Structure 1
Amino acid sequence: MEDSQKRKLRDIIADAAEKRRFKDDTIQQQQNPLNEETKPTVISLLSDDDEASTEDDDEVVEVQVQVQVQVDDRYRSQIRMIANPEYCKNIDLEADKDAVSLYDLVGSINLKKTYQFNLLIDCGFLIDYFHPNNLDLEIYTINKGDEDTLILNDFEKLSYKFNIIKVDKKLNKFASHHSKMMINFYDDDSCQIIIYTMNLTNPDYKAQTQMCWISPMLKRDPNHSSEESNDALDLITENGKRFKRDFLNYLKSYEELQLNDLISNLEMYNFDDIDVQFIASSPSNKLSFNKFQFDQGLDQPGVKLYGYGKLYQILHEFNLLNNSSNTKFIAQCSSIAAPFDSNKSNLFTHILTSIVEGSKDIVKSPDHDFQTRSSTSVEPVIIWPTEFEVLNSLYRHLSGHAIHLNIERKNNYHAFEKQYDLIKQFFHKWSSSKTVIESKSKRSKLSPHVKTYCTTSNNFKTLDWFLLTSANISKQAWGKPCWGYGSNGKFSKFNKHEFQIDSFEAGIFINPKTVRLKDKDKGKKVVLVPVFGKDTLDDDDDDDDDDGSIVKIPVRLPYDVPLEKYSNLDKPWTVQALERAYENLQE
């Protein structure tokens, strides 16, 4: 095709994207969340009848928006809500306070190259959020790359420089490339990593609650060495270097030649400003750790762990274990898969709880007594939307497509049914608010696709730690135990534990012991404090304690508290509920 024809097609795409940008009601309310510097802006707006008018009679109104720059010295949540303007328009105009949109993440004219890791990528959907004039942008898509997971037509290929990287060679038939993250490079040689919970599709963006973590802008490191160091790092002062090592090891685990340029490029960047830990999963047949391996709190650079093994490592290294009888361990996700033992043992209740409480047995017995507090230290809590919540959400049953729980037997396979009989006692509603106006999180009518895990010992006054991840409650995501360090059978008698992982996942761990503080606060104790509907603490919560020894760091939660347990009348949203919803529509 001649260059002029290509340019014409690209102009059509750019024009469509520009119209979409200025139709969005939130454009005038952008708070520039990724860059605190704000400047006066000139915006050209078309009247409501512009689509029906011709180019000659368009009335262009030039509006100058003067924004007053104010220095905000407050700490802000590193966990960000992904904006949903359409939901705000229909439900609550304040629901997107401090939220970030896809425009914020990929819409910069200065974006030079973006790597998009995901399960599902609709390139036509993604294109609409690029800057309309950024036509030389290079886009790399990283997923299975088949027709079920990647939508890219010839028209879209002409619009931008797409590069497809297929990463399916390590995936078995039950596994998925489930990681959701992007790595962006800008024309000033800066780089930014975003880890989030959303598939790059229109339904995920519009119909479900999503969140993200956005790294600081990373700069090239003038002291970079091309030789990989095996030196032990300080857990606190060199956390950014540990994040970099874990992140690059994850990318290398793909064993994909087409990612080598990305890895080599990232090796030249300074990660020191990152103060979270990276918890990922990568298909691995045999991963292992010893019972007391991380109790000394020392870095072990040769260890490469994923899934629940990495969570185990971090909790032990930083002594974040909590076996108090008051502790709640909260899992909030959008899918609960089959038991890991094909019986009824649930990954969350029978393994993750053991890791969090520092149990002597990492694998609980299938018949473990969860009712007796002496046998179980932490209280398992699963936040899962009810049928009523999904069917009364803004998008009703459509938002339930990506919320998966099977509770019925299939032929002679009873595991789903037996698992549900066990875990239903831990189910809590997505929202405890009676109306959307009462919702603290402002997302009570938007079904969840976000995945979060945390512990609290004081009913959400503070959090011990917080994890945002793509990993649902499944053995494919977190790992399946093979042998050792368990309560009975093949898991008993051994201090070494082995497990395997099937899928790719990515998440970040908020750790109060590595949070970077302002100079005036260094040396003080850090506590994580939940916030709702915004990224900052309330004014009356933002002050230090009377003696000034504590710094409160906000962590934004997607759900409402206090939590409300299921009543006897509440039913969870399930795959069977979705089937019934469609049957009712056809009647």
Structure 2
Amino acid sequence: MTQESSYGRWTVSSSDESENEKTPIEKPSTSSLPSFGQDVLNDPGYTCSDARKAAYRRKLSPVKFDSKNSTSKISSLKRQKSSQEDLGWGLSSSDEEESHPKGQSRQPGKGTVKEEKCTSLKEPSKYSPRDCQPPVIPKTEEDYETSDEAQEPWDLLDEKNLFRFYLTRVSGIMPKYNLGALHIKDILSPLFGTLLSSAQFNYCFDVAWLVRQYPLEFRKKPILLVHGDKREAKARLQEQAKPYENISLCQAKLDIAFGTHHTKMMLLLYEEGLRVVIHTSNLIQADWHQKTQGIWLSPLYPRLPYGTPSTCGESPTNFKSDLISYLMAYNAPPLKEWADIIQEHDLSETRVYLIGSTPGRFQGNHKEDWGHFRLRKLLKEHTSLVPEQQSWPIVGQFSSIGSLGADESKWLCAEFKDSLVIVGNRGKTEAQRDVPLHLIYPTVENVRKSLEGYPAGGSLPYSLQTAEKQLWLHSYFHKWSAETSGRTNAMPHIKTYMRLSPDFAKMAWFLVTSANLSKAAWGALEKNGTQLMIRSYELGVLFLPSAFGMDTFKVKRKVFSENQEPATSFPVPYDLPPEIYDHNDRPWIWNIPYIKAPDTHGNMWVPS
């Protein structure tokens, strides 16, 4: 029966319906693209998800919103089999009460989209004039080199950032909300060192764009691209890199189906030393333009004196040996060379712990080497059993979601949550079993009102095929809001997990990582819990108060506030407490149309 949701009619093609439920986050497309004339002009030219390809096509060929003719604009689509309401996205009153902390604000966040006159809205009482007009979008990426918004040298070298955690710069927002934020050109700036060579680990590469981010004097220095592409995608990446004699490729082995090389890291070797950058951005222009991304920037690691024993230069967090172990897991000669380079440097100033995932099946003590069991091990060993902390909530924030099973007991609130609630080397207590879990994922309205409009949803590749199999998950969802940092309308591609006090004023730990909420990224137990299976490469850094000489972190809620807060306050990149979805909120699902309301550029979303 044909029905209609508040965002319009939608359907799923038969090929979409039969998609494997283990489809990974940002899975490369193997299907042919719809024809829009010249197919080559409608393909971004680099490996990316189907969702990103759809966003790329819509940017090239937007579907303008017209309240009178919106239905006819997608008349070629098949009639849908149901609506989001039919899938049960709305919360019952009992659901709301159970998962909504007492006293938590339910006021919707205020948008920052510029208000202008709107003349084409069919339902003016429901959508305000600001909803259909684009914000002021200033400079493009190509303008960045001469932008007067570029970072000043003193900003780049400011050592007041105790945690060395940064957000990426966002175009189109007030300058005060970019203070201390970094663009990739800042990271590769000569102010950080005289570059000799670099290694770029990532999922998605636009090689020509990447080369332009290096300063002119460094563009011919050796660059190693570590990727997971196979077959046609690998050939395309090789073709991209062919014009650059200084670029070499290293293919990460992905022997388990549906895995990806999702790690995002830079190794930068200078005349003056070595720097490690672990971040959340793909190496494409869109990820450094108007998205919320996270960066951990290491100190400059000096070279050890010649002849120094290999055991020297280790940090209290074992970061050096863990990073070398991660590189050696690739079993690739070019990365063995980088492991040797790391061995030659002093990483003793590092205060974060490395948490990685590598593909494989791990048993015995090796079960704790990677994934969520690695996080569990660190929390056991480096946190103290403080009774009050046993019931502190967990907050997870991510840009996509994998297939998690038929109910919460299959993985999310069983093995995964069991790892996150560990405090000290004790067994799980009753208080830990009842720990609240808040999951932050953008709503359709978040995406619609974003700086990029609906195409921002291309980096949120949660599909209908996965969503409709785990309707139980919606009761955990909370909206994306970053009003206090001026970035609510910059959609998140950052992924963060943390544990906070019930009043959200103190933090027990914080993790920024490439890992989305999926078993492929974090691992899932097999063989009655004796074996952990991981499909993908991921990498992140864990901040523990003990490594900074503290019992807990104080939460810095206003990341870019002009009011001076203690340097020991940890900057959380979104609003706390998180606001649970209300009855009208729907999670962003990329592969259905949204035609009933325009985005900030006056367009609809028709993904195919």
Q: Please report the TM-score for the alignment, with normalisation by the length of structure 1.
A: 0.70
CA, structure 1 residues 180+347, in 2 after alignment: closer, same or farther (shift >3 Å)?
Answer: farther
The 5-angstrom pairing of residues 273-292 of structure 1 reads 273-289=349-365
**Contact conserved, 1:391 with 1:397, CA < 8 A, in 2?**
yes
> How far 1:284 moved relative to its partner?
1.7
The equivalent residue for 2:249 is 164
The equivalent residue for 1:528 is 553
- Distance (whole Å) between structure 1 residues aligned to residue 204 and residue 386 of structure 2: 36
**Contact conserved, 2:228 with 2:254, CA < 8 A, in 1?**
no
The equivalent residue for 2:584 is 569
Moved more, 238-247 or 311-320: 238-247
> How far 1:580 moved relative to its partner?
6.6
**Contact conserved, 1:282 with 1:504, CA < 8 A, in 2?**
yes
> How far 1:348 moved relative to its partner?
3.6
The equivalent residue for 1:430 is 480
**3-state SS of paired residue (2:275):** strand
Kindly indicate whether residue 369 of structure 2 is the aligned counterpart of residue 305 of structure 1: yes
> How far 1:555 moved relative to its partner?
2.0
**Contact conserved, 1:394 with 1:446, CA < 8 A, in 2?**
yes
The 5-angstrom pairing of residues 347-362 of structure 1 reads 347-358=411-422
> How far 1:556 moved relative to its partner?
1.9
Amino acid at match of 1:419: Q
Kindly indicate whether residue 536 of structure 2 is the aligned counterpart of residue 503 of structure 1: yes
**3-state SS of paired residue (1:249):** helix
CA, structure 1 residues 561+456, in 2 after alignment: closer, same or farther (shift >3 Å)?
Answer: same
Kindly indicate whether residue 457 of structure 2 is the aligned counterpart of residue 395 of structure 1: no
CA, structure 1 residues 511+123, in 2 after alignment: closer, same or farther (shift >3 Å)?
Answer: same
CA, structure 1 residues 181+555, in 2 after alignment: closer, same or farther (shift >3 Å)?
Answer: same
Moved more, 466-475 or 99-108: 99-108
Indicate the percent of aligned positions where both proteins have the same amino acid: 24
CA, structure 1 residues 509+536, in 2 after alignment: closer, same or farther (shift >3 Å)?
Answer: farther
The equivalent residue for 1:319 is 383
Kindly indicate whether residue 146 of structure 2 is the aligned counterpart of residue 23 of structure 1: yes
The equivalent residue for 1:420 is 471
**Contact conserved, 2:379 with 2:423, CA < 8 A, in 1?**
no
> How far 1:358 moved relative to its partner?
3.4
- Distance (whole Å) between structure 1 residues aligned to residue 420 and residue 562 of structure 2: 27
CA, structure 1 residues 153+251, in 2 after alignment: closer, same or farther (shift >3 Å)?
Answer: closer
Equivalent residue for 2:498, pick from 454, 472, 490: 454
The 5-angstrom pairing of residues 175-186 of structure 1 reads 175-186=259-270
> How far 1:158 moved relative to its partner?
4.0
> How far 1:557 moved relative to its partner?
1.8
CA, structure 1 residues 510+566, in 2 after alignment: closer, same or farther (shift >3 Å)?
Answer: same
Kindly indicate whether residue 395 of structure 2 is the aligned counterpart of residue 330 of structure 1: yes
Kindly indicate whether residue 216 of structure 2 is the aligned counterpart of residue 93 of structure 1: no
The equivalent residue for 1:120 is 204
The equivalent residue for 1:244 is 320
Kindly indicate whether residue 129 of structure 2 is the aligned counterpart of residue 104 of structure 1: no
CA, structure 1 residues 149+79, in 2 after alignment: closer, same or farther (shift >3 Å)?
Answer: farther
Kindly indicate whether residue 290 of structure 2 is the aligned counterpart of residue 195 of structure 1: no
Measured against aligned partners, the alpha-carbon deviations of 1:267-296 in whole angstroms (never above 9, x if no partner) come to 11111000110000011212334xxxxxxx
- Distance (whole Å) between structure 1 residues aligned to residue 330 and residue 395 of structure 2: 31
Kindly indicate whether residue 470 of structure 2 is the aligned counterpart of residue 405 of structure 1: no
The equivalent residue for 1:436 is none
The 5-angstrom pairing of residues 453-472 of structure 1 reads 453-472=497-516
Measured against aligned partners, the alpha-carbon deviations of 1:73-102 in whole angstroms (never above 9, x if no partner) come to x55442200112x232xxx23221110111
- Distance (whole Å) between structure 2 residues aligned to residue 322 and residue 417 of structure 1: 39
CA, structure 1 residues 209+321, in 2 after alignment: closer, same or farther (shift >3 Å)?
Answer: farther
- Distance (whole Å) between structure 2 residues aligned to residue 150 and residue 451 of structure 1: 30
> How far 1:35 moved relative to its partner?
2.3
Kindly indicate whether structure 1 or structure 2 has the higher relative contact order, using CA contacts under 8 Å at least 6 residues apart.
2
* More strand by percentage: 1
- Distance (whole Å) between structure 2 residues aligned to residue 326 and residue 308 of structure 1: 19
Moved more, 472-481 or 139-148: 139-148
Measured against aligned partners, the alpha-carbon deviations of 1:542-582 in whole angstroms (never above 9, x if no partner) come to 2xxxxxxxxx6232222112321111111111134467799
The equivalent residue for 1:218 is 301
Measured against aligned partners, the alpha-carbon deviations of 1:409-449 in whole angstroms (never above 9, x if no partner) come to 7xxxxxx434232x211111101x7xxxxx11221001110
**Contact conserved, 1:530 with 1:557, CA < 8 A, in 2?**
yes
**3-state SS of paired residue (1:279):** strand
Measured against aligned partners, the alpha-carbon deviations of 1:179-223 in whole angstroms (never above 9, x if no partner) come to 0000001123x1000000000011222232111000000011227
CA, structure 1 residues 363+336, in 2 after alignment: closer, same or farther (shift >3 Å)?
Answer: farther
CA, structure 1 residues 525+469, in 2 after alignment: closer, same or farther (shift >3 Å)?
Answer: closer
- Distance (whole Å) between structure 1 residues aligned to residue 561 and residue 604 of structure 2: 44
CA, structure 1 residues 553+501, in 2 after alignment: closer, same or farther (shift >3 Å)?
Answer: same
CA, structure 1 residues 33+117, in 2 after alignment: closer, same or farther (shift >3 Å)?
Answer: farther
Measured against aligned partners, the alpha-carbon deviations of 1:473-524 in whole angstroms (never above 9, x if no partner) come to 11111001114xxxxxx35xxxxx4211111000000011012xxxxxxxx6
**Contact conserved, 2:406 with 2:470, CA < 8 A, in 1?**
no
CA, structure 1 residues 178+577, in 2 after alignment: closer, same or farther (shift >3 Å)?
Answer: same
Moved more, 279-288 or 315-324: 315-324
**Contact conserved, 2:310 with 2:343, CA < 8 A, in 1?**
no
Amino acid at match of 2:471: Y
> How far 1:388 moved relative to its partner?
0.5
CA, structure 1 residues 75+105, in 2 after alignment: closer, same or farther (shift >3 Å)?
Answer: closer
> How far 1:390 moved relative to its partner?
0.4
**Contact conserved, 1:345 with 1:419, CA < 8 A, in 2?**
no
The equivalent residue for 2:575 is 560
- Distance (whole Å) between structure 2 residues aligned to residue 401 and residue 308 of structure 1: 27
Equivalent residue for 2:547, pick from 514, 523, 532: 514
- Distance (whole Å) between structure 2 residues aligned to residue 536 and residue 151 of structure 1: 44
Amino acid at match of 1:572: P
**Contact conserved, 1:122 with 1:201, CA < 8 A, in 2?**
yes
**Contact conserved, 1:184 with 1:192, CA < 8 A, in 2?**
yes
Q: Over the residues paired in the alignment, what is the CA RMSD in angstroms? A: 3.5
CA, structure 1 residues 474+150, in 2 after alignment: closer, same or farther (shift >3 Å)?
Answer: farther
CA, structure 1 residues 406+156, in 2 after alignment: closer, same or farther (shift >3 Å)?
Answer: closer
The 5-angstrom pairing of residues 131-146 of structure 1 reads 131-146=215-230
- Distance (whole Å) between structure 2 residues aligned to residue 352 and residue 320 of structure 1: 20
Amino acid at match of 2:580: K
**3-state SS of paired residue (1:404):** coil
- Distance (whole Å) between structure 2 residues aligned to residue 464 and residue 185 of structure 1: 33
**Contact conserved, 2:463 with 2:590, CA < 8 A, in 1?**
yes
**3-state SS of paired residue (1:338):** coil
- Distance (whole Å) between structure 2 residues aligned to residue 307 and residue 161 of structure 1: 34
> How far 1:24 moved relative to its partner?
2.3
CA, structure 1 residues 505+18, in 2 after alignment: closer, same or farther (shift >3 Å)?
Answer: closer
**Contact conserved, 2:390 with 2:432, CA < 8 A, in 1?**
no
**Contact conserved, 1:287 with 1:305, CA < 8 A, in 2?**
no
Equivalent residue for 1:35, pick from 157, 164, 177: 157
> How far 1:110 moved relative to its partner?
1.8
- Distance (whole Å) between structure 2 residues aligned to residue 159 and residue 181 of structure 1: 21
CA, structure 1 residues 98+503, in 2 after alignment: closer, same or farther (shift >3 Å)?
Answer: same
Amino acid at match of 1:24: S
Amino acid at match of 1:420: L
- Distance (whole Å) between structure 1 residues aligned to residue 349 and residue 505 of structure 2: 28
**Contact conserved, 1:137 with 1:160, CA < 8 A, in 2?**
no
- Distance (whole Å) between structure 1 residues aligned to residue 384 and residue 584 of structure 2: 37
**3-state SS of paired residue (2:418):** helix
**Contact conserved, 1:110 with 1:186, CA < 8 A, in 2?**
yes
